A and B are shown apart, each in its own frame.
Chain A
């Protein structure tokens, strides 16, 4: 199996503060990795670093074969990030948002519609401006955008937070679909039950470093970790 993420002593600063203080991490392609750790452990920064949206201030790393030092522009189109900021346009309708990002990703209108179906966004919401949706509904839209883009690496920051029962199920289903297609998934979550049922391995972060990567679940790829 190919390596999807390879970090050695990775340091990443946010506003002068070392949010990541030397992370070593290996993720094999196709793994579904659960990131756990207290607030302020560095989970969000780690995901932004892996998305190519934060710069590496120390150490080395490659993601999907792209060097985090100089090949972030090649990396970004292959990565999908679902974060606290939903990265959508508030003034556009649901369909317009989806159509815009689908067009940029070269996906068809049919795929966009299918993604909305997958996340159970009801037809009456589709022509409504995003501003008028609730937080949970918006999150579903952001997840739909992610599904349309079909990234090779999915980075999910608290994907279940703020979602109702059916929303959680839809997001978990999305993760399973992605993993089944061979995509790699990293999800940071405090919601152990919802997240660990899809995860193949768990990594604990604290104080900006990986404190325990050993807690492997029923993962076939875990032995490849130290290869």
Chain B
């Protein structure tokens, strides 16, 4: 656990120094929300109705970039080799990288949430449900993003290969998180907590699968 936290702290420190997420990914996320607004003809009631889905589409597109960044950090200068040589267990490296990615995504989601309220006139009615389901979804996205990121990592086609592999995996997250937010924002009559359960299941499955599969993938790169 100590090693996982070391890896996570290292990734967050790199972000604090390089500001790639803050200056490149966050503006991209907001621009996505704005473009989706244009696509729906800026109809106030339509935007409010669709705000949960639009929010999560923006989050998932953003997550692709964040996952790519998380892998790129290790592959510049072959730092991934240094992690291998350090003898840290692959499951711990996975946990650390996923933790850092989840923290970064959570920060981006807060920003996007504010943008959603401002731009789409969304109103959060059940704050607890919104936070809980966003947390579960974020853990799932971070686990899947970390696992699939390293799948696409060492090849020269990372930018194009990662979305092809990762977006189908995000399908259940998008459905679940959109419905849960629909309940939390009062735009859909559904049981949001049931959807929270599904998101939690997804997060659990991909966290376990990732922790188990990360080792063979790191070995494959060596």
Q: Check A-B contact in the complex, CB < 8 A.
A: yes
Given the known inter-chain contacts A87-B79, A100-B6, please indicate yes or no for A80 contacting B85, CB distance below 8 A. yes
Residues of B within 8 A of A3 (CB): none
Q: Is there a chain A Cβ closer than 8 Å to B78's Cβ? A: yes
Closest residue of chain B to A129, judged by CB?
Answer: B17
Q: Which of A54, A87, A96, A145 has its CB near the most chain B CB atoms (within 10 A)? A: A87
Residues of A within 8 A of B82 (CB): 87-88, 101, 145
CB distance from B21 to the nearest CB of A (A): 12
The residue from A100, A105, A145 contacting B10, defined by CB atoms under 8 A apart: A100
Docked Cα-Cα span, A153 to B68, in Å, equals 34
The residue from A52, A86, A92 contacting B222, defined by CB atoms under 8 A apart: A52
Chain A residues 105-155 with CB under 8 Å of chain B are 105, 129, 145, 149
Closest residue of chain B to A54, judged by CB?
Answer: B222
Contact (Cβ within 8 A) B81 A85? yes
Chain B contact-residue range equals 20 to 34
Chain A contact-residue range equals 20 to 34
Q: Is there a chain A Cβ closer than 8 Å to B86's Cβ? A: yes
Q: Is there a chain A Cβ closer than 8 Å to B128's Cβ? A: no
Contact (Cβ within 8 A) B78 A76? no
Docked Cα-Cα span, A137 to B75, in Å, equals 21
CB distance from A208 to the nearest CB of B (A): 19
Residues of B within 8 A of A77 (CB): 85-87
CB distance from A158 to the nearest CB of B (A): 15
Contact (Cβ within 8 A) A91 B17? yes
Closest residue of chain A to B80, judged by CB?
Answer: A87
Residues of A within 8 A of B3 (CB): 104
Q: Is there a chain A Cβ closer than 8 Å to B88's Cβ? A: yes
Q: Is there a chain B Cβ closer than 8 Å to A172's Cβ? A: no
CB distance from B166 to the nearest CB of A (A): 24
CB distance from B9 to the nearest CB of A (A): 8
Contact (Cβ within 8 A) A85 B85? no
Q: Is there a chain B Cβ closer than 8 Å to A221's Cβ? A: no
Contact (Cβ within 8 A) B13 A76? no
The residue from A52, A96, A101, A105 contacting B13, defined by CB atoms under 8 A apart: A96
Contact (Cβ within 8 A) B77 A85? yes
Chain B residues 115-138 with CB under 8 Å of chain A are none
Q: Is there a chain A Cβ closer than 8 Å to B171's Cβ? A: no
Give a binary string over B6-36; 1 marks a CB under 8 Å from any A CB, 0 the rest: 1000100110011000000000000000000
CB distance from A82 to the nearest CB of B (A): 11
CB distance from B78 to the nearest CB of A (A): 4
Q: Is there a chain A Cβ closer than 8 Å to B39's Cβ? A: no
Q: Which of B14, B18, B76, B79 has its CB near the most chain A CB atoms (within 10 A)? A: B79
Contact (Cβ within 8 A) B88 A104? yes
CB distance from B199 to the nearest CB of A (A): 32
Contact (Cβ within 8 A) B10 A89? yes
Q: Is there a chain B Cβ closer than 8 Å to A55's Cβ? A: yes
Docked Cα-Cα span, A105 to B82, in Å, equals 11
Residues of B within 8 A of A129 (CB): 17
CB distance from A16 to the nearest CB of B (A): 14
The residue from A89, A91, A92, A104 contacting B86, defined by CB atoms under 8 A apart: A104
Q: Is there a chain A Cβ closer than 8 Å to B73's Cβ? A: yes
Docked Cα-Cα span, A145 to B81, in Å, equals 13
Q: Is there a chain A Cβ closer than 8 Å to B110's Cβ? A: no
Docked Cα-Cα span, A81 to B85, in Å, equals 8
CB distance from B215 to the nearest CB of A (A): 8
CB distance from A132 to the nearest CB of B (A): 11
Sample 23 A-B pairs with CB under 8 A, ordered by A number.
A53-B81, A53-B85, A53-B222, A54-B222, A55-B222, A80-B85, A81-B81, A83-B78, A87-B82, A88-B77, A89-B76, A89-B79, A90-B76, A92-B14, A96-B13, A100-B6, A101-B82, A103-B6, A104-B3, A104-B88, A105-B86, A129-B17, A149-B85
User: Which 4 A/B pairs are nearest by Cβ-Cβ distance?
Assistant: A77-B87, A87-B82, A85-B78, A104-B86
